Amino acid sequence: MTEKALGAVVNDTALVAGRKGLYLAFSLPDSFPNEWWQLRETGATTLTIDTQHLPQVARQHNPVLKAVTWAAQVTGAPASYPITVGGTGGTLNRDPAMPSRCVGTLGTVSWGTPIAISCDPAKLTDLSVLVSYTIS
């Protein structure tokens, strides 16, 4: 199987959630502790997701960032949670599959470009980011 064919197979891999492609997830407290601290203290931070965060094999195959989904765990499990990502204000909504999290896709993101994030951190206990990408 050629590398190009392998990339196509990997990109079309079906996930349990009914989505296709490659994903990488980060919990800010675990993967970006400085940014998490700043968000909790000030209500704002800047996060940069770069190809260096990808597995080595993916870096070698021209990864293309498709979307970034945010998941906030908030005390009290509210129906929604307001957040601003990259200057775009929006609302993360409670996910029926993960009732303790508010989930949504906001902002335009590209590899290596700082992403400004702001929200009310008072009841925020975790913020995760799910990065969807493909390889060629």
Domain positions in the chain are 22-134
- The structure's pTM equals 0.82
What pLDDT was estimated at residue 9? 41
**Running DSSP on this structure, what letter comes out for residue 22?**
E
**Residue 33 pLDDT > 80:** yes
What pLDDT was estimated at residue 22? 85
Which of these, 59, 42, 41, lies nearest to 50 by C-alpha position? 59
Query: In CATH, which of 1.20.272, 1.20.120, 2.60.40, 2.60.120 is domain 22-134?
Result: 2.60.120
The count of other CB atoms within 10 Å of the CB of residue 101 is 20
What pLDDT was estimated at residue 121? 96
Contact 15, 75 (CB under 8 A): no
Strand order across the beta sheet in which 80-85 lies: 22-27, 124-134, 64-74, 98-105, 88-95, 80-85, 115-119, 44-47
Beta carbons within 8 Å of 69's beta carbon, 6+ residues apart: 103, 104, 105, 129, 130, 132
What pLDDT was estimated at residue 107? 80
**Residue 30 pLDDT > 50:** yes
The pLDDT tens digits for 113-123 are 999 999 999 99
Distances (CA, A) of 7 to 2, 13, 60, 127, 134: 9, 10, 11, 30, 8
Section 22-32 average pLDDT? 91
What pLDDT was estimated at residue 64? 87
17 vs 77: CA distance, rounded Å? 21
**Residue 10 pLDDT > 50:** no
The pLDDT tens digits for 45-102 are 999 999 888 888 888 888 888 889 999 999 999 999 999 999 999 999 998 888 889 9
Contact 85, 107 (CB under 8 A): yes
